[in-house]
Chain A
Amino acid sequence: MGSTLIDGLFVFVLAGFIGFEVIRRVSPLLHTPLMSLTNALDAIAVVGAIVLVGEHKSTLAFVLGFLAVVAATSNVVGGFLITDRMLRMFKSTRPTKP
Chain B
Amino acid sequence: MTDFAGSQYLIEIVYLIASVLFILSLKWMSSPKSARHGILAGEIGMVLAIAGTLLHHGIIDYKWIIIALVLGSGIGVPLGLVQMTAVPQRTALSHAFGAFCVTLVGTAEYYLRAPNVPPFMMAVLSAEVILGSLTFTGSLMAAGKLQEVLPQRPITYKGQNFVNLGLLAGAVLVAGYLVMHPQATFLYPVIVIVPLFFGVMMIIPIGGADMPTVISLLNSYAGLSAAAMGFVLNSKLLIIAGALDGSSGFILSVIMSKAMNRSFTNVLFGAFGQVQASAVAGAEEKTVHSATPDEAAGILAAANKVVIVPGYGMAVAQAQHKVRELYDALTKRGVDVRFAIHPVAGRMPGHMNVLLAEADVPYDRLIEMDEINGDFPQTDVALVIGANDVTNPAARTDKSSPIYGMPILDVDKARTVMVIKRSMNPGFAGIDNPLYYLDNTLMLFGDAKSFVTNIVHELASNQH
Q: Which residues of A contact B (CB under 8 A)?
A: 1, 4-5, 7-8, 11-13, 15-16, 18-20, 22-58, 60-62, 64-94, 96
Contacts and interface: CB of A to CB of B under 8 A. Distances in A.
Given A8-B236, A23-B251, A30-B353, A70 B87 contact: no
Given A29-B350, A53-B64, A37 B230 contact: no
B94 A91 contact: no
Nearest to B43: A80
B23 to A, nearest CB: 6
Interface stretch (B194-202, B237-245, B283-291): B237-245
Q: Which 8 pairs, one residue from A and one from B, show the smallest C-beta to C-beta distance?
A: A73-B72, A81-B80, A77-B76, A31-B350, A54-B59, A19-B247, A78-B79, A69-B68
B42 interface: yes
B26 interface: yes
Nearest to A26: B29
Interface stretch (B97-105, B294-302, B377-385, B404-412): B97-105
Given A49-B101, A60-B111, A76-B72, A11 B35 contact: no
Given A51-B59, A91-B362, 20 more contacts: A11-B240, A15-B239, A18-B244, A19-B248, A23-B244, A26-B26, A29-B32, A34-B349, A47-B52, A48-B233, A53-B68, A54-B54, A55-B58, A61-B108, A78-B80, A81-B77, A82-B80, A83-B39, A87-B32, A92-B362
Contacts of A52: 105, 108-109
A68 to B, nearest CB: 4
Interface string B333-357: 0000000010100001111011001
B104 A68 contact: yes
Given A38-B219, A41-B46, A81-B81, A23 B235 contact: no
22 contacts: A12-B242, A15-B19, A27-B29, A30-B353, A34-B350, A36-B90, A38-B244, A39-B222, A45-B105, A51-B53, A52-B108, A58-B111, A60-B108, A61-B112, A68-B104, A70-B75, A71-B72, A76-B72, A77-B72, A82-B82, A86-B357, A90-B35
Nearest to B216: A35
Contacts of A29: 32, 350, 353, 363, 366
A18 B23 contact: yes
Contacts of B61: 53-54, 56
Contact of B39 (A1, A22, A67, A80): A80
B91 interface: yes
Contact of B27 (A12, A22, A41, A72): A22
Interface string B1-28: 0000000000000000011001101110
Contact of A41 (B25, B60, B73, B107): B25
B349 A32 contact: yes
B84 interface: yes
B363 to A, nearest CB: 5
B312 to A, nearest CB: 13
A63 to B, nearest CB: 8
A17 B50 CA distance: 26
A51 to B, nearest CB: 6
A22 B32 contact: no
A85 B90 CA distance: 14
Interface residues of B, number: 115
A1 to B, nearest CB: 6
Contacts of B233: 48, 51
Given A28-B368, A75-B97, A94-B364, A35 B349 contact: yes
B227 A12 contact: yes
A45 B238 contact: yes
B234 A4 contact: yes
Nearest to B18: A44
A3 B368 CA distance: 46
B101 A66 contact: no
Contacts of B111: 58, 60-61
B32 A78 contact: no
Contacts of B351: 32
Interface string B31-61: 1110110110011011001101110101111
A57 to B, nearest CB: 6
A42 to B, nearest CB: 4
B149 interface: no
B248 A34 contact: yes
A33 B78 CA distance: 17
Nearest to B22: A41
A97 B72 CA distance: 37
A61 B104 CA distance: 9
Nearest to B215: A35
B398 interface: no
A30 B94 contact: no
A28 B350 contact: yes
Given A55-B59, A89-B357, A48 B26 contact: no
